[in-house]
């Protein structure tokens, strides 16, 4: 079996008395979509934050491509190839969609300490950024400031930015949120193809999407992983049904 | 490049400022040459601050420190040169110089490391803490200057002779103006380059959303630190010219009022706009001299104008005339 790209071991994070992450271990293998589901407040986003480095775990290890990244900052982890999207779109609002993607492109190329060449005339930035926007279907909106994009378009822009980083693994935090059924269906198809480029750790509430996409599912309840398995295993798991799926099936 | 309304306004402002001393001389009002020079120098300092404040969103309330360091660089060099004293005797001897270019170099070379130290500490904070900590550092330098009798203490340091410039008689007000104007134009060109560059993109993204910047793998801290240092060096260069203009390096150049004035200039003109500092400095000096001639309480009116800008014209003068800035 292939070595996991991302491997989390015994991760713990407490906020006061609240165990937001309680001894979580999971991994992400090459080529797979590993979905992380669970009721609201289960600690899914907190887990994503710890993996991406925006909050620090209390204990436990995060290994990425065989290297312990648990002590690195968010920017350093992104440079190692962890591309994330945010649950609530996080963009540079004044920059156009194109410039938002170009920023990721420039980060992927290395140094940002270049002071003279104008970015808008730098085709090594604009061309790839434009093609990322084309892939997510935003090419026509490239020149619009991110703040003027619709909610769904901002979600797509988040993904275009993550793509531009050329990451070794994607962390997507509810990419379908607020997309509407049509948009969610499109995005499901898109993510399905994306797993060939890099494995995806997917936090998602849309169960149709999760069941259609996931190779494996982990169920998080009160900070603990109560089950990990294939779609069928999870559907059949009595504890999962009781804790979570009951309200859906 | 598209010829936008902003470019038109910038051109008009640049032309107006350049024409002002010539018109003054034609009307036999040499005092206005000094005013125009003051505008150019304050604009230069504000262009520096605009890099940190406008592009990076770093509200430094301590840029007077760098402005003053530049002023004292010019003053100290001039004093030593006048007394034929070397500038340094240990660890090696350095001769002083009355050359303006040397004063500029010293201003930039001293303010850079000072800004690096201040920035490295201050930039670990943000928001109101950043404002306060930069203020605190500037006040430390201010009190250091007024308690240092070797260089005038509270009385400041007069400059007997304005620094010299190769091929130019700097004692002629118009020539000195042209030097200041030239430096301002170069600084504006650099500002425009930096703003359009990769560094500028990262710096502006750090202001808009630092989490986003970090998520693509660019750490905001080093980007801001470099911007802070460049910004300080430009302010120091302006300070050196300012001391030469007044033939006086005053501790008031280091005071918090000066820091505040620079922020006011930028807000008046248009935060982050290329010619915002120029528009702001021209308006500020104009208000100061016109209203200052009518009433001692001219700052009350300045306050009202500032209030108006903050309430009704967030983009400052440039924003009012040219509309919102576009990022392409």
pLDDT digits (tens, 9 = 90+) for B42-94: 999 999 999 999 999 999 999 999 999 999 999 999 999 888 888 887 778 88
For B280-314, what is each residue's pLDDT tens digit?
999 999 999 988 888 888 889 899 999 999 898 88
Q: Does B192 touch chain A (CB under 8 A)?
A: no
Could you tell me if residue B36 is inside a domain?
yes
Distance (Å) from the alpha carbon of A78 to chain B's nearest alpha carbon: 5
The share of chain A scoring above pLDDT 90, in percent, equals: 76
Could you tell me if residue B328 is inside a domain?
no
List, for chain A, all residue ranges whose pLDDT scores fall below the cut of 50.
Answer: 248-249
Per the structure, the complete domain to which residue B234 belongs is given by 5-322
Nearest residue of chain A to residue B223 (CA atoms)? A113
In this structure, whether the domain defined by A1-81+167-249 belongs to CATH 3.80.10.10 is answered with no
Residue spans of the domains in chain A: they are 1-81+167-249, 91-166
Which residue in B63, B75, B238 sits closest to B137, CA to CA?
Answer: B63
Q: What was the ipTM of the complex prediction? A: 0.90
pLDDT computed for residue A249 by the predictor: 42
For B135-189, what is each residue's pLDDT tens digit?
999 999 999 999 988 888 899 999 988 999 999 999 999 999 999 999 999 999 9
- Across the A/B interface, how many CB contacts are shorter than 8 Å? 116
| Mutation target vs B (from A49, A100, A112, A166; most B CBs, 10 A cutoff) | A112
B198 contacts in chain A (CB < 8 Å): 106, 111-115, 117, 119, 122, 125
For A19-67, what is each residue's pLDDT tens digit?
999 999 999 999 999 999 988 888 999 999 999 999 999 999 999 999 9
pLDDT computed for residue A191 by the predictor: 93
Distance (Å) from the alpha carbon of B90 to chain A's nearest alpha carbon: 36
pLDDT computed for residue A169 by the predictor: 95
CB contact under 8 A, A99 and B201: yes
Distance (Å) from the alpha carbon of B62 to chain A's nearest alpha carbon: 25
pLDDT computed for residue B150 by the predictor: 86
CB contact under 8 A, B214 and A107: no
Q: How many domains does chain B have?
A: 1
For B105-150, what is each residue's pLDDT tens digit?
999 999 999 999 999 999 999 999 999 999 999 999 999 999 988 8
Q: Does B208 touch chain A (CB under 8 A)?
A: yes
Distance (Å) from the alpha carbon of B191 to chain A's nearest alpha carbon: 10
Could you tell me if residue B210 is inside a domain?
yes
Q: Does B86 touch chain A (CB under 8 A)?
A: no
CATH assignment of the domain containing B190: 1.10.3470
For B16-29, what is each residue's pLDDT tens digit?
999 999 999 999 99
Q: Does B186 touch chain A (CB under 8 A)?
A: no
Could you tell me if residue B22 is inside a domain?
yes
Could you tell me if residue B182 is inside a domain?
yes
């Amino acid at each position: 079996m292939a070595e996991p790209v991302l491997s989390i071991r015994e991760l713990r994070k407490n906020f006061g008395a609240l165990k937001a992450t309680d001894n979580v271990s999971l991994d992400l293998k090459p080529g797979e979509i590993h979905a992380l589901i669970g009721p609201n407040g289960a600690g899914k986003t907190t887990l994503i934050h710890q993996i991406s480095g925006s909050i620090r775990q209390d204990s436990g290890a995060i290994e990425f491509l065989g290297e312990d990244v648990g002590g690195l900052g968010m920017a350093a982890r992104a440079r190692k190839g962890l591309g994330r999207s945010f649950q609530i779109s996080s963009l540079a609002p004044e920059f156009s969609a194109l410039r938002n993607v170009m920023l990721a492109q420039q980060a992927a190329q290395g140094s940002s300490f270049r002071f003279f060449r104008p970015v808008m005339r730098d085709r090594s930035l604009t061309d790839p950024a434009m093609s990322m926007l084309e892939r997510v279907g935003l090419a026509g909106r490239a020149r619009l400031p991110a703040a003027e994009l619709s909610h769904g378009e901002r979600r797509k822009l988040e993904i275009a930015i993550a793509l531009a980083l050329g990451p070794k693994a994607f962390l997507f935090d509810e990419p379908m949120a607020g997309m509407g059924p049509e948009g969610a269906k499109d995005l499901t198809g898109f993510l399905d193809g994306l797993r060939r480029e890099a494995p995806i750790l997917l936090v998602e509430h849309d169960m149709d999407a999760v069941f259609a996409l996931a190779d494996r599912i982990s169920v998080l309840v009160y900070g603990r992983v109560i089950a990990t398995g294939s779609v069928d295993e999870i559907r059949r798991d009595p504890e999962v049904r009781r804790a979570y799926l009951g309200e859906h099936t | 490049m598209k010829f936008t309304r902003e470019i038109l306004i910038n051109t008009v402002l640049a032309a107006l400022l350049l024409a002002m001393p010539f018109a003054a001389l034609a009307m036999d009002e040499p005092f206005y040459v000094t005013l125009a020079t003051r505008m150019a120098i304050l604009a230069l300092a504000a262009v520096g601050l605009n890099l940190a404040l406008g592009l990076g969103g770093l509200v430094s309330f301590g840029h007077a420190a760098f402005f003053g360091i530049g002023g004292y660089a010019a003053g100290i060099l001039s004093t030593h040169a006048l007394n034929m004293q070397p500038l340094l005797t240990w660890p090696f001897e350095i001769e002083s110089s009355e050359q303006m270019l040397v004063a500029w170099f010293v201003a930039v070379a001293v303010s850079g490391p000072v800004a690096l130290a201040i920035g490295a500490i201050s930039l670990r904070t943000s928001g109101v803490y950043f404002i306060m900590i930069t203020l605190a550092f500037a006040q430390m330098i201010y009190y250091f200057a007024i308690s240092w009798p070797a260089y005038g203490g509270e009385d400041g340091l007069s400059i007997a002779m304005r620094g010299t410039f190769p091929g130019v008689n700097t004692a002629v007000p118009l020539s000195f103006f042209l030097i200041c104007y030239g430096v301002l134009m170069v600084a504006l060109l650099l500002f425009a380059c930096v703003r359009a560059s990769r560094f500028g993109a990262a710096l502006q993204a750090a202001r808009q959303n630092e989490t986003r910047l970090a998520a693509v793998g660019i750490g905001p801290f080093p980007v801001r630190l470099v911007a802070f240092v460049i910004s300080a060096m430009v302010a120091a260069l302006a300070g050196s010219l300012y001391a030469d203009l007044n033939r006086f390096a005053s501790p008031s150049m280091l005071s918090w009022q000066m820091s505040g004035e620079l922020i006011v200039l930028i807000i008046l003109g248009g935060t982050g706009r290329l010619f915002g500092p120029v528009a702001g400095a021209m308006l500020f000096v104009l208000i100061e001299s016109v209203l200052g001639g009518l009433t001692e309480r001219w700052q009350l009116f300045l306050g009202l104008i500032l209030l108006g800008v903050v309430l009704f014209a967030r983009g400052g003068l440039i924003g009012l005339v040219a509309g919102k800035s576009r990022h392409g």
